[in-house]
Structure 1
């Protein structure tokens, strides 16, 4: 009996001592419990207290940032369905019936004008576009402009009481930074699904038409078919990327990719202002059947094989001709039309770049002034 009493007293004394020592060894616990933080890092580890458009996202100490982001940004996310006439109807001399050819997501960037940003591959070839809003309304969309080279498009809708997003700065992103993806994976049945993750990497390159023009954001936030065109959002509730692709190879999970919003804005603005986009180019046509294997067999270098040159274009004026192989742009190796565009799109129309090309066992460097390349 005496032993039991002593054990109980010892346990009580030990527990009291432990509680007394918690503030000494783990000061952050007491700061969290009291709602007080001594550093920005402490506060960001628990919650976010930033705002969007001064009246948008605001979270208190004990709320969940993703919930606030969903409530604030979600209403600006739309579903987009691309309808096209069936090939069956065309074979019989009629247009046939409109059928769903593709679907994806988008987000409203200008509520007053009803402007929606999405991917080009979501609306490509559309003969009718239906846009579904967060409140259940469905409206017809009209294409303002598309650009296959950057996989970007702008659609206009006419509706009242729209909500737009706030755009962030993707040039300051850090690996490990938390992000949220919102979109319609699988169509309207899963509209405005919210997934959370982090930025896994920046400056990723994909050998994929459109996306190859950018250094992409990689994220482990789940991105699935139908998420294309939807926003990737930071914890301030601002759009920092446009979800565009994922690694769908067997055995790979959590590898989604987004177009950085800061890189996309110039093209988006051109589509809004002019209905098309202009990019820098050297006005040559590349034959992507020229592979590394074929080059090795011929004893030639890897590169972008030119099968046509625009007469009086910048490459022609610099002495580049059909049959030449472009191997570098400003010292960076290229081996395909997509890699060539990727390097050229880092510049502006009128810039001068150094093009390295191969001809007749000789490599030569020339200066080329970039010309306009319209979408």
Structure 2
């Protein structure tokens, strides 16, 4: 729109003064100039500002005269809608041209300018950071103080699964399986320790064993009473008890000598001993089974001694120093496995080593794992000066195998027997002295044994057994256990300057011990 006509004034469009002038200037025919926004040329929107006032400074330029500044203040806005005033038929807002100047001779439009956003200062950023840290610290501290204990079980399970999935991803990618692995070790504090629970569980199953016997004095033809005490383990509710053979040896040998009394004392009935019978005993493994006439006894639970690891918890329960200290509990660890120690008559036992205190009287008691399961039968201790914490126990897997056989057959079934006793004083020096070959000197032959039937005699020197040269009973036993009763073995002996080869059929060892 180039021309505008308001009332009696005609306006002409003036060219912009410069390229940056975005408004169009209009020159009134009567000499008045005003500025209009080009974006709404020719548009006069309806508005009603009856209650609004505004103040605007208008520059009025008269033709040929100086510029005057007319202050229009508190001008009352007039409502219009692109129509002519009913009071004036001309294109004006009033009958008076002066009124037209005051009320409608200029054009205005309200435009909101965008507010300028101020960049935050460094001080404001520091304040925000400090306040955020304080709030964050308060929230984290409150979590660990109050919320973490309540959600620990569930969070523990979540993180365990998360860690596990990470380990699987490492493995599947072909990297080191241990790379990134996190092991979480948790020590749970409870009111009762593991040892307390073990003692409570197993102590009722550990009994006291007492043997009283009489010995004769050949000098004064008088008898004296002796006593030995040890420990035992209830292995069946109907009165079967496992112990060491040396604990009941005096009662076992009473078959061939004076009478002996074998008694069992239960922890719950210390003032009421039970008389016991020997079911069977095996001196080679130092194990025996006895029985009392009782029912509903608390039997122990067996563990697996083949799976023992060095450093595992080991708890010993027994009667050290006799029944006065019945039910004593000592604690240690598994110090070693498959330890071989010598026992009487040149025999050896393969045992568990522990530093749990084992003293005389503990023999026949239980060595237990962290679950309260029996893993060994306490049997020996190295008591020499300068040694401490060297206790030994028979592995329960071997002990159970022997005692099961004793309960069923009264002896260890399937064990081959040669049937000789050797002279331990015979050695290489003696052999050279008498100019005889080195071997095993037979001191005695068991009647009706394989050696007896095969022709072996006392005084023979066994130089070979089953085709192998031998110089000790232990070497014969190692070869013998590879056979079963009934097998025939070639035995080479030196007798009176001759070397003989005898065919010996091994018999079965029925070392029955029964009262």
State the TM-score, normalized to the length of structure 1: 0.71
Partner of 2:281: 146
Output the CA distance in 2 between the equivalents of 1:164 and 1:43.
36
Partner of 1:218: 353
Partner of 1:128: 261
CA distance in structure 2 between the partners assigned to 1:316 and 1:160 by the alignment: 44
Segments of 5+ residues of structure 2 without an aligned counterpart are 1-136, 145-151, 165-181, 252-259
1:304 matched to which residue of 2?
440
Q: Any idea what the Cα deviations from partners look like across 1:22-53, whole Å, max 9, x if unmatched?
A: x9xxxxxxx99x987959x9789857xxxxxx
Note if contact 1:205-1:212 (Cα within 8 Å) is conserved in structure 2: no
Alpha-carbon contact 2:313-2:370 (below 8 Å) kept:
yes
Secondary structure in structure 2 of the residue aligned to 1:68:
helix
* Aligned residue number for residue 74 of structure 1: 203
Which range moves more in the overlay, 222-231 or 274-283? 274-283
Structure showing greater radius of gyration is 2
What is the SS of the residue equivalent to 1:215?
strand
- Structure 2 residue matching 1:171: 3-state secondary structure: helix
Match of 2:241 in 1: 116
Number of aligned residue pairs: 332
- 1:173 and 1:184 mapped to 2: Cα distance? 25
In the alignment, structure 1 segments of 5+ residues that lack a partner are 1-15, 24-30, 48-59
Matched position secondary structure for 1:194? strand
- Whether the aligned pair in 2 keeps the contact of 1:175 and 1:202 (CA below 8 Å) is yes
Query: In 1, distance between residues paired with 2:328 and 2:207?
Result: 11
Relative to structure 1, the CA distance from residue 73 to residue 343 in structure 2 (aligned partners, 3 Å threshold; closer, same or farther) is farther
| Corresponding position of 1:228 | 363
Secondary structure (helix, strand or coil) at the match of 1:270 reads: helix
- Displacement, 1:190? 0.8
Q: Post-superposition shift, 1:89?
A: 10
Question: Pairwise CA RMSD of aligned residues?
Answer: 4.4
Counterparts of 1:260-339 in structure 2, within 5 Å, are 260-278=395-413, 279-291=415-427, 293-295=429-431, 304-309=440-445, 314=450, 322-326=459-463, 335=472, 337=473
- The equivalent residue for 2:227 is 101
CA contact 1:178–1:235 (8 Å) conserved in 2: yes
Structure 1 position 79, deviation (Å): 0.6
- The 1:63/1:366 distance shift into structure 2, 3 A limit, reads farther
What is aligned with 1:26? none
Change (3 A) 1:157 1:314: closer
Q: 1:312 to 1:116 in 2, by over 3 A?
A: closer
Higher relative contact order (CA 8 A, sep 6+): 1
Question: When the two structures are superposed, what TM-score results if normalisation uses the length of structure 2?
Answer: 0.54
Greater CA drift, 298-307 or 124-133: 298-307
Contact 1:325–1:357 at 8 Å: present in 2 too?
yes
1:340–1:247 CA distance, 2 compared to 1 (3 A): farther
Report if aligned partners of 1:217, 1:259 keep a CA contact under 8 Å in 2. Answer: yes
